[in-house]
Amino acid sequence: MKRRQLLLSTAAAAATTALPLAVRAQAAWPAKAIRIVVPFTPGGTTDYVTRLVAAEAAKSLGQTIVVENKPGAGTVIGVDNVAKSAPDGYSFVTVANSFCVNATLIKKLPYDTRKDLRPVALMGLSEHVLATHPSSELKTVADIVSQAKAGKKLSYASFGNGTSAHLAGEMLKTQLGLDIVHVPYKGQAPALADLLGGQVSMMFGNWPEFRSHVQSGKLVAVGMATAARSVYAPDIPTLAEQGLKVESNSWNGLLAPAGVPDDIVQRMNTAVAEAMKAPALAEAFQKGGISAKTGTPAQFAAYIDSEIARYAEVIKKAGITAD
């Protein structure tokens, strides 16, 4: 009897050892620090949201979450880094609208948008404002039109090629029939710095980062790129009120390499949802003018598909290319 029990124990141990590494790692997840890549420079909304969520999610997961900034190539560098990472649940990437734009705009991505990454959780959404430097004397959409038609050279900054700010600027140009030079940056922070310095004429940007500058008079809010007046900026007219149909925002969501097991994806999704309920995060979002977004991985996947379709139409109408 003892011999039989010994043989069974030995066989069980052998079977456990024979399990694939991913399966054994899955059972203990998370057993070490988790990495979240932000494909933008530090200081922007995506970076801010990611760090807030990571700090709270780490508490429920019982492990450190390290945030790494890997900007460049319209977020392609950072996204590709995670797409090619081991599917063990220790590498994630926070994406924004540009992830969906790039699916159409960039013909030869180093990763497959739908096959190489899997949606985990939607996290936050920030409304956009069209802002200008006071010295430009661009206070309304009508001012932009009159100055452009008078021959003044205008420019607009963006977070980078293919970002939501870029697409919004192109929609503005197309609808108004104006020639405005696009100046892309590697993230919102450096673009905002040049707008504050008067090096560019205007920019669509996240209200959370622009609010203090608008309130202090360092920037002028031409209008909110929202369907109705924002609850975060009720005194600022919308662009729609001025005859410009441009709706734009920046959302942030978490992706994992395609091979990450379902239960790890679900556990991370749950950790993000729990993070959204944390009083400190809720207060920070409220003060920052960020709307918390939650949902299942499947719902986030459907949202990504709808955004890819929406931006594909904008790119086609505006004739936008990656060059």
Predicted confidence (pLDDT) per residue in 24-71, tens digit: 445 689 999 999 999 988 988 889 999 999 999 999 999 999 999 999
- What mean pLDDT comes out for the span 144-165? 91
**What CATH number is associated with residue 186?**
3.40.190.10
Pick 20 or 95 by higher pLDDT: 95
The string over 22-44, giving b where at least 16 C-beta atoms fall within 10 Å of a residue's C-beta and e elsewhere, is eeebbeebbeeebbbbbbbbebb
91 DSSP β-pair partners: 35
Q: Do both 118 and 100 map to the same domain?
A: yes
Write the single-letter amino acid at 258: A
Contact 237, 229 (CB under 8 A): yes
Out of 36-45, 136-145, 234-243, pick the least confident.
Answer: 36-45
pLDDT score of 20: 53
User: What's the mean per-residue pLDDT of the chain?
Assistant: 90
Q: What is the pLDDT of residue 162?
A: 77
Q: What is the residue whose two structure tokens read 């200081």?
A: 43
Mean pLDDT across the stretch 167-178? 92
- pLDDT-above-70 percentage for the chain: 91
Whether the per-residue pLDDT at 178 is higher than 50: the answer is yes
135 and 204 share a domain?
Answer: yes
Residue 10: pLDDT over 50: no
Are 118 and 134 within one domain?
no
- Total structural domains within the chain: 2
- Please determine, for residue 265, whether its predicted confidence score (pLDDT) is greater than 60: yes
User: Which residues form the domain of 39?
Assistant: 16-23+32-125+250-318
- What pLDDT is recorded for position 21? 47
Q: What is the pTM of this model?
A: 0.79
Instruction: Classify residue 3: in a domain, yes or no.
Output: no
Whose tokens are 């207060």? That residue is: 283
Q: Are residues 219 and 154 in the same domain?
A: yes
Given a cut of 50, whether residue 176 has pLDDT beyond it is: yes
pLDDT at 298 exceeding the cut of 90 = yes
Mean pLDDT, range 161-181, rounded to an integer: 90
Q: What is the rounded distance in angstroms from the CA atom of residue 74 to the CA atom of residue 83?
A: 15
Ordered alpha helix ranges (H), the chain: 2-18, 21-28, 45-61, 76-83, 97-105, 141-149, 164-176, 188-196, 207-216, 262-277, 279-288, 297-318
Does one domain contain both 76 and 162? no
258 with 120, same domain?
Answer: yes
pLDDT at residue number 322: 75
In a domain, 10, yes or no: no
Judge if 133 and 240 occupy the same domain. Answer: yes
Q: Are residues 236 and 261 in the same domain?
A: no
Is the per-residue pLDDT at 19 higher than 50?
no
> Does position 11 have pLDDT exceeding 50, yes or no?
no
Give the CA-trace dihedral at 110, 113, 119, 123, to 10 degrees.
90
